[in-house]
Amino acid sequence: QVQLQESGPGLVKPSQTLSVTCSVSGVSVITDDYFWTWIRQFPGEGLQWIGYIYFSGYTYYTPSNPSLKTRLVMSVDSSRNQFSLRLNSMTDADTAVYFCARGRNSGSSRGVDHWGQGNLVTVSS
């Protein structure tokens, strides 16, 4: 079955860069039918889209959060069946659980169907 698992640091210092990788099993990241996405959850709060990427390299950044776009790089590594997020200039406001997930933009099941378990990232000196 489809499984996703994040791997990344638990603690990042302010101004440093966060790197989180999502390992995918049970399905190939090489697909035009699904996108690979990052969603974060602030402590005790709801869910916020960060952006998504297709295997082709097409990326989408949430327009309502322009500050993220200038700091964010997403990539797909088909040789390792992984995709990654890099977020630079981290601040306290970026403390959150970072989820990777799979989603669809077409078909009746449009939305997000599989999630990783989440990677808690705390920004602190």
Which residues of this protein are in contact with other proteins, per CB under 8 A? 46-49, 60, 62-64, 99, 103, 108-113, 115-118
Q: State which residue, 53 or 78, has the beta carbon closest to other proteins.
A: 53
- For residues 41 and 75, which CB has a smaller minimum distance to other proteins in the complex? 41
Nearer to other proteins, 11 or 47 (CB): 47
Q: Which residues pair with 21 in a beta bridge?
A: 7, 84
Q: Show Cβ contacts of residue 90 under 8 Å, excluding neighbours closer than 6 positions.
A: 12, 13, 14, 15, 16, 17, 18, 123
Nearest approach in angstroms of CB 111 to other proteins is 4
Q: What is the residue whose two structure tokens read 């889209």?
A: 49
- In whole angstroms, give the CA distance from residue 102 to residue 89: 26
Shortest CB 52 distance to other proteins, Å: 9
